[in-house]
Structure 1
Amino acid sequence: MTVNRHLDELYGLRSHTFPALDGGTGNLPAPDAVAWRFNTNHFYSNGEDWNSLFARFCDTVDTTRVKALIVGQWGDASSDDSAEAVKTLVAARDSFPALRAVFIGDMVGEECEISWIRQTDVTPLLTGFPELEEFGVRGGSGLEFPATSHRALRKLVIQTGGLSAEVVRGVGAGDLPALEHLDLWLGTDEYGGDSEVADLEPFLSGARLPRLRHLALRNSEIQDEIAVAVAAAPVVARLEVLDLSMGILTDEGAAALLAGQPLTHLKKLDLHHNYLTEPLMDRLLQTLGAAGVEVDLDHDGAEEDEDEDDDEPFRYIAVAE
């Protein structure tokens, strides 16, 4: 029910945390060899705030060679949003001509639960860095993503326990002609995930995102409804990877996928963390696995609670808080 690992890599580069104030900077990796991670909290930073940490990084490392940046804690992320960090990065754009990837909010549950992370309008980073190829954000509280035009972005990841319909619509209305990989964690209405299947139409119709090859619409409490829509979605014919994992997917959704358009052209169908019965999993493996599709059906912690007032069990998405 929570995120328990920091990013291992970004843009194909292993992550490396820039040392704290007393950590020493004598043996740092080459500027373009890693994805640089920044983290400020009471235990790590010895009182150094995020802007001071970032300024020290810029004074220490040749930023003209840096390719990837990962923003972890910018202080108390449950009370202070990411606006200052976003503003600071955008202000430094001329010092980062080689920057191609940014991730905002790389925190685990022990630092700040995903539903508590306070975000802001993150699209100034896309506007400020027109050569950015990968962009990711974790946390849906206060997150804004108005329709944006970006010609170079190839990968967009938004990880939340509840993604607002407004953000989903903003992404869908954007002009992102180079986007190949879209990953949205839609979440539950308990944490602000109020989007509906109709909000996903720009991604499913195939009319937008002409280069999309990897589509992940996951971590959703309406995973069955999404699967039904995907079963007839025109975009599926040109996908290589379809990811409907981490949500409340039952036999209803899986049966719709099997009854819909052929999926045998896919390289991978990811349905891990599911509530499927053995017969449906066998059918998926027989139909798709036999055709060479990699099918991930790992239950991966999917649990059911009995509701004393209802005959139906209560099911959980993989990440909500």
Structure 2
Amino acid sequence: MAIHEYLTTFAGLPVVAFDEEQQTVDPAGAAWRIDMEFEAAAGDLEAALERLLEQTAPAGPAALVIGEWGSAYEDGFPFDLLVRNAPRLTGLRALFIGDLTGEQCEISWIKQGDITPVLEAFPALERLCVRGSDGLELTPVRHESLRELVLQSGGLPATVVRAVAACDLPRLTHLELWLGVDEYGGDARADDLAPILAGRSLPALTHLGLRNAEIAEEVAAAVAAAPVVARLTALDLSLGVLSDTGAEALLAGQPLTHLESLNLSHHFMSPEMAQRVVDELPGVAVDVSDRQQEEDWGRYTAVSE
């Protein structure tokens, strides 16, 4: 399955396509979206960003969403463009790179690059979301302000997972990793998540999403005994291939009754097991919607290509 709709809200703000003809622009009132035509000419994205910066001066937009940059299927997003303009983007608090639908570019085809320079150039950034992981890189970094990190992919490399786990993010409360499938580069295993699950990293974490995972059963078994779960309010294992085996591991592990929400949607549990999860966690908002039927060739994640 692919992603078929653009974001409508981001960072609590409505997403508004930037129009240079707009006469009144409130930099803090919207998440401004820049989107190029497919195979746009070199320099078009930079020109569009320049026009946005002119209208949102002196601090730039509070939230920025980038869709197609002209060649997402072929060239990674030019993070250096944002880094060069960091002095004019001092108001930026939320950034989404890669708001593309499957019709524009399948998630597994979206090229990315090294996101470390962005984190280093924007010390006040609070939310960073990146869609696509082909070529995605991250060097462990300390960031004092980041509260939310979301990496959406059809296959998240183990090197990136380990780098996230090694980052020093003292204020991060929301982490969402779309682990994906091995065929598209998702070679991470539960062991790569160990520092996160052990609670040794990300001391403020309260929302953990390990989504879209081909290794959902392995992840569920690891989560069942993970010390970090005791301080979570939300656990999200949705979009993956969770079956009765994984659900049984979750219920047999540590108590989950302290959670506010448990998202297991898009799953392969039997109706009986899905109901059992709901019944055994009466005070938790449990989502077991979107039950799938296993195909002859096996189970599948919700988002891959």
Q: Return the TM-score normalized by structure 2.
A: 0.96
The amino acid of 1:80's aligned partner reads D
Matched with 1:9 is 9
> Is the 1:248–1:275 Cα contact (8 Å) retained in structure 2?
yes
Q: Distance in 2 between matches of 1:275 and 1:27?
A: 51
Q: Distance in 1 between matches of 2:209 and 2:199?
A: 14
2:168 paired with 1:184: no
Could you list the per-position Cα deviations for residues 242-296 of structure 1 after superposition, in whole angstroms to 9, with x for gaps in the alignment?
00110000000000111111000000000000000112112111110x2x10000
Matched with 2:223 is 230
The amino acid of 1:296's aligned partner reads D
1:76-115 to 2 correspondence within 5 Å?
76-82=71-77, 84=78, 86-115=79-108
Q: Distance in 1 between matches of 2:273 and 2:223?
A: 18
State which of 49, 53, 58 in structure 2 corresponds to 1:58.
53
Matched with 1:296 is 287
How far has the Cα of 1:48 moved from its partner? 6.9
Q: Distance in 2 between matches of 1:264 and 1:146?
A: 36
Inter-CA distance 93–48: structure 2 relative to 1 (3 Å threshold)? closer
Matched with 2:66 is 71
Q: Return the TM-score normalized by structure 1.
A: 0.91
What SS class does the counterpart of residue 177 from structure 1 fall into?
Answer: coil
Matched with 1:265 is 258
Q: Distance in 2 between matches of 1:98 and 1:303?
A: 47
2:37 paired with 1:41: yes
State which of 131, 139, 155 in structure 1 corresponds to 2:148.
155
Matched with 1:310 is none
The amino acid of 1:36's aligned partner reads W
1:244-283 to 2 correspondence within 5 Å?
244-283=237-276
> Is the 1:104–1:138 Cα contact (8 Å) retained in structure 2?
yes
> Is the 1:81–1:119 Cα contact (8 Å) retained in structure 2?
yes
State which of 8, 11, 32 in structure 1 corresponds to 2:28.
32
> Is the 2:25–2:55 Cα contact (8 Å) retained in structure 1?
no
Q: Distance in 1 between matches of 2:111 and 2:249?
A: 36
Q: Which runs of 5+ in 2 are unaligned?
A: none
The amino acid of 1:18's aligned partner reads F
How far has the Cα of 1:46 moved from its partner? 9.0
Aligned CA RMSD, in angstroms, stands at 1.6
The amino acid of 2:120's aligned partner reads T
Q: Distance in 2 between matches of 1:264 and 1:106?
A: 35
Could you list the per-position Cα deviations for residues 87-111 of structure 1 after superposition, in whole angstroms to 9, with x for gaps in the alignment?
1111111112211111111111011
Q: Which runs of 5+ in 1 are unaligned?
A: 308-313
- When structure 1 is superposed on structure 2, of 193-202 and 24-33 the one drifting more is 24-33
Identical residues among aligned pairs (%):
47
> Is the 2:154–2:186 Cα contact (8 Å) retained in structure 1?
yes
Q: Distance in 1 between matches of 2:133 and 2:41?
A: 28
Matched with 1:311 is none
Matched with 2:300 is 316
What SS class does the counterpart of residue 4 from structure 2 fall into?
Answer: coil
Structure 1 ranges of 4+ moved more than 4 A: 45-48
